[in-house]
Amino acid sequence: MDECQSDIPAHDGDLHVVAAAHHIVKALGTTKNLSDDLRKILIDLDAHLSLITSNIDSKGGKGFVEVEERLKRVERKIVIWESDQIMIWDSGPKEASDYLEAVDEVQTLIDSLRGLSMNENQKQKELLHRASSLLQMAMSRLEEELIHMLVKHKQQPESTYMPSPSSQTNVVYNESVVSLDNDSAKEASSKNSCSEKCGEYIFDLVPEHVIPDIKSIAKVMFASDYGQEFCEAFIGVRKEALEQHFDILKNGKLSIEDVLKMEWCSLSTEMNKWTWSMKIIFRVYLMSEKRLCDQVLGEFGSVNSFCFLEIAKTTILCLLNFGEAIAMGPQEPEKLLRLLDMYETLADLVIDIDALFSEDGGSFVRLEFHKLLEGLADSVKAAFNAFGVAVSSNGSLYPFPGGGVHPLSKYVMNYISMFPEYCSTLNLLLEDQHSDVASLVSEPQCVPTASLSTSCPMACHLRSITSSLESNLHNKSKLYKDEALQHIFLMNNLHYMVQKVKGSELRPFFGDEWIRKHNAKFQQHEMNYERVTWSSVVLLLKDDNPGSSSLSKSAFKEKCKGFSIAFEEVYKNQTSWCIPDPQLREDLRISTSLKVVHAYRTFLGRNPAHVDDKCIKHTVEDVEKLLLDLFEGSPRSLRNSRRMMKT
C-alpha cells in the first residue's frame, strides 16, 4: 500500500469525522472577523482535508485529480497577468485581492503536497513542481508590483525643508584685503542660515493609503519564503530614493583623500553643506524612513532594523567619511567656525542617531558617530589654539598705510564677535585649558568673584586673544618712523576694538572694566598725538618777551613764517593719514582746533599792528578750514586745499 494511502481512514466512522471536520472548516472560513494568520491556517487545513477526501474517493489511484484542478484554476489567474503590461494594483483593489488569493491558494497547495509522504509518487512530484514554478512566477510579479508601487508613489518632503544652505563668507585673513567686515561677519556662521529652521519633521515617503498594499505583498512573500527577495527589492528602491535626496542636498560623494586635497574655499562650502545635510538626513529623511520600515516590516522582527540599516548605510558612510576627513586634517584658524558648526550639529543629533540605530546591528553606526564627535571636539580645540597663535605671531615688514585700522584688527574682532553664539560649546571644550589661560590674563574679570559671563572659559580666552592682538599692534606701530603716526595707528585700532566690544554680544564677556580701561588707552594715544604733533608747532607762537606788549615786525614775521612752515608740513603729511571712524576723526579735529586755532588767534590778537598779507600766510579761518582736511587718507598739498579751491 502507498504511504499516501496510509492517511486514509479505515472505517466509516473515520469518514464521518473527516467530513464533519471539512464542514466545520468551511463554516469557519466564512466568518468575517478572522485574523490573516488564522484564515491561512483554515485554508491550509481545508486543502489538506480535501486531499484526504480525494484519496478516500479514489482509493489512492486518482487522489490528485482535485488538486490538479485547483492548481489549473489558480494557474490561469496568475499566468494571465504575465502577458498584461498593466500593473495589477493599478487595475483596482479587486484585481489585487484576487491575485493575492490565487497566490495564497498556490502556497496552500504546495504546503499540502509537501505534507504528504512522497514515496516516489510521480504525480505528486509533478504537481509540486508545477505549483512551485507558479509560485516563483507569482513572487517575481509581486516583486515587480512592489518596485512599481514604491517608485510610483514616492514622495518628496515639503519645499520648506529642502532649501540649500545659504552661501557663507569664507573667513580668511589677508594683509591686502579686509576679508571680514560687519555685514559678512553676520553671514560667516551657518548658525545664522536657514539650517536653524530644520527641526524634526517626519513626512510620508509613500502615501498612507498605499501602506496596506505594500504590507499585503510583504505578508504573502514572507509567508512563501520569499522574504529575502522582498527585502532586496524594498531596500533597492528606498536606498536609491535616499541617495537621490542626498544628491538634492548637493553633497558630493567625496573620499577622505579628496577632502584632504581641497582648497579652503571649496572645503568651507562642503563643511557648510555637511552641517545642513546632517540635520536634513537624520531629522527628516531617516526618521521618515524608519517609520516606513516600521509600518511595512514592523511585524517581521529583526528584518525591520536590517532593512533600515541597509537603506541608510551608503549615505551614512558618506557623511562619516567627510566628517572623519575634516577631523584628521590640519586645523587652520579659518576652519574654527565651520568646525564649531559641525561639532554642535553632531552633538545635537547624537541622541537621534542612538535612537534610530538602537538595535545591535546599528551599534557600529552609533560607535562611529560618537568617535567622530570626539574627533571634532579635538579639532575645535586645535583650531582655537591655532587662531590664538596666528594672532600673536602675525608679522608685517611694512607699516599699514595711513595708520588706519589694520586688517588683522578687523579679522580678529569680527571673528570673535561670532563666538558668543557658541558660548556653551566653547566653555565645555575649553574648560580643561581655562586655568592656564586665566593665569595669563591679568584683568580682574577672571577672578572667581567676577560674573559668570566675564569669568567663563570662553571669556578668558577671548581676552587672551585681544591681549595678543594689542601686543602685536604695538609691534606693528614701531614700523612707523613718525611717532605721531604711531599714536594715530594705536588710537585707531584700540578704538576699533572698544567699539566692536561695546556694539556686539562680546560686551558681557569683556565687561565694563575692560571697556573703561581700553577707552583710557586710546584716549591716551590721542593726547600723545597732540603732544607730539602740535606742541612744537604751538610753541613757535610763544612770546619770547612776556612783559612786552607786542613783537617787533621782524620778530612777528619770523614767527609767522616758522608757524606756516611747521603747519604746512603737518598738513602735507597728515592729510594722507587716516582715521576711519567719523566721530573719532571729528573729535580729534575739534580738540586740535581748540588748541592750535586758539593759540594762533591769541598770537595774532597780541600783534594787531603787524597783521597784513605780507606778514601772515594763513588767516585764522584758513587754519580752521585746513584742519578739516586732516585724517581723510587722501594726500593734499596747499595748492589743492579747501582754501585754494575756493579762491
| 632: β partners | 578
Query: Residue 242 and residue 288: Cα distance in Å, rounded?
Result: 11
Closest CA to 76 of 145, 138, 143, 132: 138
Query: Residue 90 and residue 70: Cα distance in Å, rounded?
Result: 27
Query: Residue 369 and residue 346: Cα distance in Å, rounded?
Result: 8
| Interval 169-204: pLDDT, tens | 455 544 433 344 444 444 455 464 434 445 568 889
* pLDDT, mean of residues 375-382: 96
Q: What are phi and psi of 31, to 5 degrees?
A: -65, 135
What is the rounded radius of gyration, in angstroms, for the C-alpha atoms of the chain?
44
Percentage, residues of the chain above pLDDT 90: 58
Q: Which residue has the higher pLDDT, 250 or 502?
A: 502
- Given a contact cutoff of 8 angstroms between Cβ atoms, the answer to whether 102 and 131 are in contact is no
Query: Residue 439 and residue 459: Cα distance in Å, rounded?
Result: 13
475 pLDDT above the threshold of 50 = yes
Buried residues in 520-543 as b, exposed as e (16+ CB within 10 A): ebbeebbebbbebbbeebbebbeb
Quick check: helix, strand or coil at residue 578? strand
- Looking at the chain, how many residues does it have? 647
* pLDDT, mean of residues 246-255: 82
| Interval 200-228: pLDDT, tens | 688 899 999 999 999 999 999 999 999 99
Distance from chain centroid for Cα 304: 30
Q: What are phi and psi of 312, to 5 degrees?
A: -85, -20
* pLDDT at residue 169, as a whole number: 45
Average pLDDT, the chain: 83
Residue 504 DSSP label: S
| Interval 555-590: pLDDT, tens | 888 888 999 999 999 999 999 999 999 999 999 999
Quick check: helix, strand or coil at residue 632? strand
* pLDDT at residue 162, as a whole number: 54
**489 — pLDDT class (breaks 50, 70, 90):** very high
Residue with cell 620778530: 555
Quick check: helix, strand or coil at residue 177? strand
326 pLDDT above the threshold of 50 = yes
Residue 174 DSSP label: B
Q: Model pTM?
A: 0.79
**19 — pLDDT class (breaks 50, 70, 90):** very low
| Interval 22-52: pLDDT, tens | 546 555 655 555 666 676 666 666 666 665 5
* pLDDT at residue 7, as a whole number: 44
- Given a contact cutoff of 8 angstroms between Cβ atoms, the answer to whether 586 and 593 are in contact is no
* pLDDT at residue 119, as a whole number: 58
| Interval 494-539: pLDDT, tens | 999 999 999 999 999 999 999 999 999 999 999 999 999 999 999 9
Q: Which residue has the higher pLDDT, 461 or 638?
A: 461
C-alpha cell at 486: 604711531
Query: Residue 595 and residue 379: Cα distance in Å, rounded?
Result: 55
Sign of CA dihedral 199, 205, 209, 211: negative
Q: Which residue has the higher pLDDT, 179 or 131?
A: 131
* pLDDT at residue 36, as a whole number: 66
Count of C-beta atoms within a 10 Å radius of residue 340: 26
Quick check: helix, strand or coil at residue 498? helix
- Given a contact cutoff of 8 angstroms between Cβ atoms, the answer to whether 341 and 276 are in contact is no
444 pLDDT above the threshold of 50 = no
Closest CA to 414 of 519, 500, 518, 515: 500
| Interval 252-276: pLDDT, tens | 788 889 999 999 999 999 999 999 9
* pLDDT, mean of residues 7-26: 47
| Interval 97-115: pLDDT, tens | 999 999 999 988 888 877 7
* pLDDT at residue 114, as a whole number: 78
What are all long-range contacts of 542-546, with beta carbons under 8 Å and residues at least 24 apart?
Answer: 543/603, 543/606
| 578: β partners | 632
**434 — pLDDT class (breaks 50, 70, 90):** low
Sign of CA dihedral 320, 326, 329, 331: negative
331 pLDDT above the threshold of 60 = yes
C-alpha cell at 471: 601686543
543 pLDDT above the threshold of 90 = no
CB burial of residue 9 (10 Å; 0-12, 13-18, 19+): middle
Write out 280-335 in H/E/C secondary structure: HHHHHHHHHHHHHHHHHHHHHCHHHHHHHHHHHHHHHHHHHHHHHHHHHCCCCHHH
Query: Residue 533 and residue 352: Cα distance in Å, rounded?
Result: 65
Query: Residue 384 and residue 333: Cα distance in Å, rounded?
Result: 7
